[in-house]
Amino acid sequence: MKVLITGGSGFIGSHIAERFHNEGNEVFVVDNLSTGKRENIPFIDDAHFYQENVQNHELLTDLVKTHQFEYIFHLAAMVSVVETVEKPVESNGDNIDSTIHLLEATRQHNTNLKKFFFASSAAIYGDLPDLPKSVEDSNVNPLSPYAVQKFAGEQYTKIYHTLYGLPTVALRFFNVYGPRQNPESDYSGVLSIINQKFLNKAPFTFFGDGKQTRDFIYIKDLLQAIWIVIEDDSTNGKVFNAGTGKQTDLITVFNAFSDYFGYEIPYSFTDARAGDIKHSYSDVSPLKDLGFRPEYDIMKGIAAYLKYNQK
């Protein structure tokens, strides 16, 4: 079986690539390494790795034509909210144009597809007060170009199923964490940043008052959710939340790291970042109806994450 993963050397993409590879499949990765790392996927040889931007539409079309992928995962994007605020036009090309072109190439040239997976984001909900965030019942209120672009991308995947019968599905990722997350990114997951600060005994800065809440999902639980939706035909043309259904404030997370390491580091507070939201957690009942059962609460997940890092 052949699989294409854009953004496949990044944090989440590399885990997807690793699982498919370990199951004996032929995995192709397209990644410009702007945030991903080649060393995240040492199991992918150079013949299956393309260091290219996803706006290279000719390359992606040729790959789709030639290899007739059974699974396509579109994760490549300009993922920093801050960067999309600074570069709205450029990020539109990365985050919307690339999605449309890949969908269209797949529609026109690939008759072997089992599922086209799109990585969306909980950022599209914005800061509206209703909780938990529900795909069916919550309004969306994008507060950044990134959020607008992710919403547009997932809507295109829905349209390509409705109009053209393409088997698509999108997951709105909440706050994913785990091994291979890049703490050097300017918008990395906060858990990887806190971890790096504790390792270096360096000061940590909370953006806001630290009481903002997030729905943290460990990478293994996310992979469980992904495999559920790509293997079930009833998910075609649909969008699901990918979280745990629980909210945790950042001060609690910080204290959990302190407990694990057995020491404290200095911390301070500064203004919240433009485009950030105060509170967020997911309604994952539709995913649970398909069999999703998250196994990692925040304490178990942090422990597993840090244990992996120590290895």
The residues that are catalytic are 146
Residue 6 CA to residue 89 CA, distance in Å, equals 20
Sign of CA pseudo-dihedral 81, 85, 87, 89: positive
Domain with CATH 3.40.50.720 in the chain: 2-175+216-242
Residue 223 CA to residue 236 CA, distance in Å, equals 18
Cβ atoms within 10 Å, residue 38: 15
Give burial (CB, 10 Å; 0-12/13-18/19+) of 139. exposed
- The first and second tokens of residue 58, run together, are 């000719």
Confirm if 208 and 165 have CB atoms less than 8 A apart.
no
Q: Which amino acid is at 301?
A: G
Over residues 7-33, the pLDDT tens digits come to 999 999 999 999 999 999 999 999 999
Whole-number pLDDT of residue 308: 82
Over residues 155-187, the pLDDT tens digits come to 999 999 999 999 999 999 999 998 888 766 544
Over residues 92-131, the pLDDT tens digits come to 889 999 999 999 999 999 999 999 999 999 999 988 889 9
Over residues 23-62, the pLDDT tens digits come to 999 999 999 999 899 999 999 999 999 999 999 999 999 9
Cβ atoms within 10 Å, residue 51: 13
For the chain, give the mean pLDDT: 93
DSSP class per residue in 161-188: HHHH---EEEEEE-EEE-TT--TTSTT-
Domain with CATH 3.90.25.10 in the chain: 178-215+245-280+297-310
Superfamily of domain 178-215+245-280+297-310: UDP-galactose 4-epimerase, domain 1 (3.90.25.10)
Over residues 224-276, the pLDDT tens digits come to 999 999 999 999 999 999 999 999 999 999 999 999 999 999 999 999 877 67
Residue 170 CA to residue 118 CA, distance in Å, equals 5
The CATH class for the domain spanning 2-175+216-242 reads alpha beta
Residue 23 CA to residue 231 CA, distance in Å, equals 15
Cβ atoms within 10 Å, residue 29: 27
Cis peptide before 167 (omega within 30 of 0): no
| DSSP classification of residue 97 | I
**Among all chains, which residue has been given the structure tokens 């890092």?**
309
In angstroms, what CA-CA distances link 168 with 41, 71, 113, 157, 187? 25, 10, 10, 6, 28
Confirm if 29 and 48 have CB atoms less than 8 A apart.
yes
Is the pLDDT assigned to residue 143 strictly greater than 70?
yes
